[in-house]
Structure 1
Amino acid sequence: MQEWLEVIIRTVAAIVILFFLTKLLGKRQISELSLFEYITGISIGNIAAYISLDIDNLWYLGIISLCVWVSVSVGIEYWTLKSKGVNDYIDGKSTVLIKNGKLDKSKLAKERVTVAELMEQLRKKEVFRVADVEFAVLEPSGELDVLLKKQYQPITPDMLGWDPGEEKQTYSVIMDGKLVKDELQQSGQNEDFLNAELKRQSLKVEEVFLAQIDGNNQMTFHTMDGRTLPQSKPASASGNEAIRQSIGRLRVELQLLEGKLAQEEHSR
């Protein structure tokens, strides 16, 4: 067999084997790498390259080595699931870098994180003042999780005592001018409903770039020529009145919150 043909066959075989072994390692191997998984990924890549190009040696030995690496990695993953101590040692622990708006210099030094790097991570979370932070935790993956102090957190419906109802999934039933039957079935609707909506907007399936059904069975169409249907309508008189009433309620709620915060500040 000619060398170039052998290299092609080996490379294709290495790609197929590596794909199935990576699937065996699971999604976490792709999204968040621990130190051991990082080492495993590099080693598996090197072995796959060896299988593809090293035609002077027995290529099946590389496959055996790949299987051993993956088996050890999967075994350690199951071990970390069973033992918290093993998990903390292999994956590492979270480190609190900021507590009550105060930097912990010793923890920064331990994790070898400079103040400039910390501020960069905070800015990515849209935080520009350390004093606004209640807790900042450096995760084993290197991600920084930030909890703002209560007075700096955005107002949510729960704070105002509102119940906005359950948020339901949105389904993309047409993509690139093609019907996605699985999504349509999961939405609880059928093709008759979709065809009726298409007819109402004077559209054909092939003219739609993206069509979605929300939790209220309302459809939105994004056409190939850049239109969005149905177009948003101006608020009616009754709608404007409802908005004014909502604003009035918000003002009352905000005044109550301001009074409560003032009382808490006075108590402190």
Structure 2
Amino acid sequence: MDGFIEVFYRSIIFLIVLFLTTKLIGKKQISQLSFFEYVSGITIGSIAGEAITGLEKNYLQGAGAIILFGIVTILVDVLSLKSKYFRDAIEGKGTVIIKDGKILEDNLKKERYTIDELSALLRQKNIFKVTDVEFALLEPRGNITALLKKENRPLTPKDLEMKMPNEKEPQTVIMDGNIIEEGLRASGKGRGWLYTELEKLGAIIDNVFIGQVDSYGELTIDLYDDKIQVPAPQQRPLLLATLKKTQADLEIFALSTECEKSKAMYKKNADLLQDTIENLSPYLNG
């Protein structure tokens, strides 16, 4: 019985030591690992397991060993930041496996990857044909970076010379039916505005699972009750429709008047409003 109690206490102690050591090492230890970080992680885990169950050992020595490996890992990270040669030696270098649309079989064999494994990595990037790839690099941490051939790349607004608005991070203002004051302040809104918008959407705050304010200042919500349909925000589409109607009215006025001065005035303002509509359309199209 005493042995179980000792294991319990050691487990709690080393759980805390491992947690603090991992926090000290940083996020890299729990993300994609380099070779050294992989070895370090296994070693720290092995030391912890041995120290917890090895009742005849001094558990302070085990804790010291874990802390030592944590410090070594941090030192390796610091040296990697300061020296490219050291970083390449510890973390490895990327290997080109597709160049100019052709697979480099020698490099693939060097990394001990089969064509099936290469195809699986490409499929993770939603690439299903190797012939669609212009260039591919096998990164040191095992993932692949691929550049599609120009004719296979998706069109972007830039390719079509379309102006697109900059978007900011959406602010969560409601979560689990509760108002998040920090998000409300960051969005520049107040409780009065929030209740007004909820009323427009026909929702009550207690039924809102999450509510966010986007970069346009519009509230979008997801309700607990999925049977209730929430209408999409209409402020921007309505504003765009109003601008278009006003511009059309100005053109009609220009055509219907016989006064040349008034005709020129209506035509000038119609053109100005048309330019405004073209500039604002990316922001107002919803």
Q: Which amino acid aligns with 2:207?
A: E
| Residue 202 (structure 1) shift | 3.9
Q: How does 1:58-97 map to 2 (within 5 A)?
A: 58-97=58-97
Corresponding position of 2:125: 125
Corresponding position of 1:230: 231
Maintained 8 Å contact 1:221/1:228:
no
- Provide the C-alpha distance between the structure 1 equivalents of 2:53 and 2:156, rounded to a whole number of angstroms: 58
Q: 1:228 to 1:80 in 2, by over 3 A?
A: farther
Larger Rg: 2
Q: Which amino acid aligns with 1:50?
A: E
TM, length-normalised to structure 1: 0.82
Which string of whole-angstrom CA distances, capped at 9 and with x for unpartnered residues, describes residues 135-185 of structure 1? 111001111111011111111011111120212211222222233333223
Corresponding position of 1:263: none
Q: Which amino acid aligns with 1:101?
A: G
Maintained 8 Å contact 1:208/1:222:
yes
RMSD (Å) for aligned C-alpha atoms: 2.1
Match of 1:49, SS state, is helix
Match of 2:188, SS state, is coil
Q: How does 1:49-64 map to 2 (within 5 A)?
A: 49-64=49-64
- Provide the C-alpha distance between the structure 1 equivalents of 2:74 and 2:229, rounded to a whole number of angstroms: 48
Corresponding position of 2:193: 193
| Residue 220 (structure 1) shift | 1.1
Q: How does 1:82-161 map to 2 (within 5 A)?
A: 82-161=82-161
**Count of paired positions:** 238
- Provide the C-alpha distance between the structure 2 equivalents of 1:32 and 1:96, rounded to a whole number of angstroms: 20
- Provide the C-alpha distance between the structure 2 equivalents of 1:225 and 1:121, rounded to a whole number of angstroms: 39
Between 102-111 and 127-136, report the one with greater CA deviation.
Answer: 127-136
Between 32-41 and 11-20, report the one with greater CA deviation.
Answer: 11-20
| Residue 78 (structure 1) shift | 0.3
Corresponding position of 1:181: 181
Maintained 8 Å contact 1:221/1:230:
no
Identity of aligned pairs, percent? 38
Residue 168 of structure 2 corresponds to residue 168 of structure 1: yes
Q: 1:228 to 1:144 in 2, by over 3 A?
A: farther
Match of 1:182, SS state, is helix
Corresponding position of 1:265: none
| Residue 100 (structure 1) shift | 1.1
- Provide the C-alpha distance between the structure 2 equivalents of 1:181 and 1:55, rounded to a whole number of angstroms: 51
Maintained 8 Å contact 1:220/1:228:
no
TM, length-normalised to structure 2: 0.77
Maintained 8 Å contact 1:138/1:144:
yes
Between 86-95 and 128-137, report the one with greater CA deviation.
Answer: 128-137
| Residue 232 (structure 1) shift | 7.1
- Provide the C-alpha distance between the structure 2 equivalents of 1:59 and 1:159, rounded to a whole number of angstroms: 63
Which string of whole-angstrom CA distances, capped at 9 and with x for unpartnered residues, describes residues 57-109 of structure 1? 21111111011100111001100100000101110001111011111011001
Corresponding position of 1:9: 9
| Residue 7 (structure 1) shift | 2.0
Consecutive unaligned residues of structure 2, counting only runs of 5 or more, are: 245-286
Q: Which amino acid aligns with 1:24?
A: L
Q: Which amino acid aligns with 2:9?
A: I
Consecutive unaligned residues of structure 1, counting only runs of 5 or more, are: 243-268
| Residue 51 (structure 1) shift | 3.1
